[in-house]
Amino acid sequence: MMAAQLESDTRRVPRHIAIIMDGNGRWAKQRSLPRVAGHRKGADAVRTCVTAAIEAGVQYLTLYAFSSENWNRPADEVTDLMNLLRHYLRREVAELNSKNVRLHFIGKRDRLAPDTLKLMESAEELTKDNTRLHMCIALNYGSQCEIVEAARALASAVKNGDLAPEDITHAHVADNLLTAHIPDPDLIIRTSGEQRLSNFLLWQAAYAELVFLDVLWPDFDACALGKAIDEFQQRERRYGGR
């Protein structure tokens, strides 16, 4: 989609787009390449996607880079993905910062290597005042686990006498999720033709439009993003009303 076209209807550009980046392995297999080649091309697609999201006027972009279930992949693939993430952060953060992009991570930080954590924290610190696009990378993220943690925090508050069970509202749950400071996604895109949420933003997806694209993630580009936004714009959001 053309930027000018989008600008004429910015009201309906989704404020927050979240993406399940799927199909790196199949992209590599189609070319008889190792899976890591697909992930590498996938990291290039992340860069393309960020630029396209900025152009389109998107304010929040959440990318599912590594789920809590991805640890179950063969060890060498996990290592490749973590190396790639470190490489991405070393190579891209300065440029993201110059584009006024704020970078931040959601997910459990317990199993990540110290040098990865350091890169993540310094990227968050460097970009914390940036305002053009809030980019959120879901890393070692699982939505059910996130909801369990929120339940634990609320149970503790009840146990300590700080909160009565009957006073618990949607807002209490939302405020105890890792996404407490960002709006819920308006549009969730999954590439590669699969049609599942795979433990991604389950609570936050309550009213999101879901768009499944046939493109494999390494081939994702501005045109694919425009197609998903077009589809979003054709849907009528009712939030349970009429």
Dist. CA 92–CA 60, nearest whole Å: 18
Interaction residues for ligand FPP, span 42-61 (CB under 6 A): 42-43, 46
- CB of residue 25 vs ligand FPP: minimum separation in angstroms? 2
In the residue annotation, 115 being an active-site residue is answered as no
**Count of CB atoms within 10 A of residue 115's CB?**
10
Q: Which amino acid is at 148?
A: V
The residue within the footprint of ligand FPP, chosen from 36, 58, 65, 106 (CB under 6 A), is 65
Alpha helix (H) residue ranges in the chain: 3-7, 24-30, 35-56, 75-98, 114-127, 143-159, 170-175, 222-234
In the residue annotation, 70 being an active-site residue is answered as yes
Taking CB under 6 A as the binding criterion, the range among 82-90, 94-102, 107-115, 202-210 that sits at the site for ligand FPP is: 82-90
Taking CB under 6 A as the binding criterion, the range among 63-71, 101-109, 159-167, 221-229 that sits at the site for ligand FPP is: 63-71
136 binds ligand FPP (CB under 6 A): no
The residue within the footprint of ligand FPP, chosen from 141, 200, 217, 220 (CB under 6 A), is 217
Q: Which residues pair with 18 in a beta bridge?
A: 62, 188
Could you give the string, one character per residue 93-132, with x where binding to ligand FPP holds by CB under 6 A and - elsewhere?
----------------------------------------
Nearer residue to ligand FPP within complex by CB, 117 or 151: 117
Q: How many CA atoms lie less than 13 Å away from 126 in the CB half-sphere?
A: 19
- CB of residue 208 vs ligand FPP: minimum separation in angstroms? 20
Taking CB under 6 A as the binding criterion, the range among 22-30, 96-104, 121-129, 200-208 that sits at the site for ligand FPP is: 22-30
The residue within the footprint of ligand FPP, chosen from 22, 146, 184, 186 (CB under 6 A), is 22
CA nearest to 59, candidates 5, 14, 97, 3: 14
142 binds ligand FPP (CB under 6 A): no
Q: Which of 9, 24, 44, 70 is catalytic?
A: 70
**Please, are residues 75 and 149 in contact by the beta-carbon 8 Å criterion?**
no
200 binds ligand FPP (CB under 6 A): no
Query: Which tokens sit at 216?
Result: 């494999």
Dist. CA 96–CA 83, nearest whole Å: 19
Q: Which of 22, 80, 184, 186 is catalytic?
A: 22
Q: What is the DSSP string of 12-79?
A: GS-SEEEEE---HHHHHHHTT--HHHHHHHHHHHHHHHHHHHHHHT-SEEEEEEEEGGGGGS-HHHHH
Catalytic annotation, residues:
22, 70
